[in-house]
Amino acid sequence: MKAIIYQPYANAKRIKFKIPRKAYDWRRKVMAMNTSCYHKHQKLWSIVHNKQLLSQLKDILNGQYEVRSIIPGKQLAEHRPLTDMELDKVSQLEQKIVLSGYSPATRHSYRLAFIKFMLYHDNKNIDLLTKSEIESYMYKLVTTEKISNSQQNVSINALKFYYEKILGQERTSYDLQRPKRHKTLPNVLSSKEIRILMGTFKNIKHKAIMQMMYGCGLRISEVVNLRIEDIHTDQGYVFVKDSKGKKDRFTLLPESLLPLLRRYYIQHRPAYWLFEGAHGGQYSTSSINKIFRRGVQEAKLNAWATPHTLRHSFATHLMQMGINLRYVQELLGHASPKTTEIYTHVLQMNNKVIKSPLDCLNLGADQPHPIMR
């Protein structure tokens, strides 16, 4: 298993290289390198062209690489490849995002939105674009590509971050109109539906992951980030490190889950992360989504359900049990009780206390109308 380092041109600003798909340890270390960038369409990595970074890369690869020359127009060409100047801008954006303490997911989404923005303004210096030009771009996304409100917000945030944090422009120069936020209620499964869903998972790792998410109220990102040391069986809690908003918290460790976790640990012997992939390293969120989707289809449940539905169900079922809102807020890691209060609306929708006025009319719908006899 060897990596490939492509010999850069003398005036190139970045060095491109290819890492084998199963080289998980190399990828993890490259991701942590300063200025590293993955090019999805080329399926290549790159770093800024300097001796120190190249030496660091070679140390990571531990001599298991070969150097190849780049053939112009072949292999490395993508539909409209980024120029060296554009790659530098992307690198600046990513570096500033990391230094600002944003999550890897935010880094990824901002990067994609920013690249799309640069490609749209082909052969233009985006640093000199006016507010009206930026708004015209957003108008095109909304009207032509029909992007969602969340995608629109991501695009706006990415552009605001670039113009404000990197170029240091005044806020008024990129103050864009925000879409109205939809007020949606969380999707919740009943206790009976949860029981049916959990019965569809036969693999012990899959079963443990899903029961952890529901029984502890975890986000999908939190369950893949769990370490073995985060499970405190004696004290009966789970330590959730660096959750959303860079906050640590404690949550429940259900007693009924312990036998399953012990069997899982004995069978799989994870090294560091509680749930690891087939080749080591963290279990992927995409795998969890696929497992959950298969379970929902087999159980014939709400097609709109997602792994996050398990967290919503955890909170709603706790409140149905009479657990104080403040405790539920702490278990979920919500900064404001207003975020947790949304589950009270779900309770109001689910209860049997309020009757429809139609039920009070005693219309006798079961009696056939004379015309129907």
Catalytic residues: 219, 244, 308, 311, 334, 343
How many Cα neighbours within 13 Å face the side chain of 290? 5
Please name which of 245, 248, 221 lies closest in space to residue 237, comparing C-alpha atoms.
Answer: 248
Sign of CA dihedral 66, 69, 73, 77: positive
Say if strands 3-7 and 14-18 run parallel, antiparallel, or are unpaired: antiparallel
Please report, as a single letter, which amino acid is at residue 373: R
| The two three-digit tokens of residue 313, written as one number | 């169900």
The set of residues, in sequence order, having a beta carbon less than 8 Å from that of 214 and lying 6+ positions away, is: 194, 198, 310, 311, 313, 314
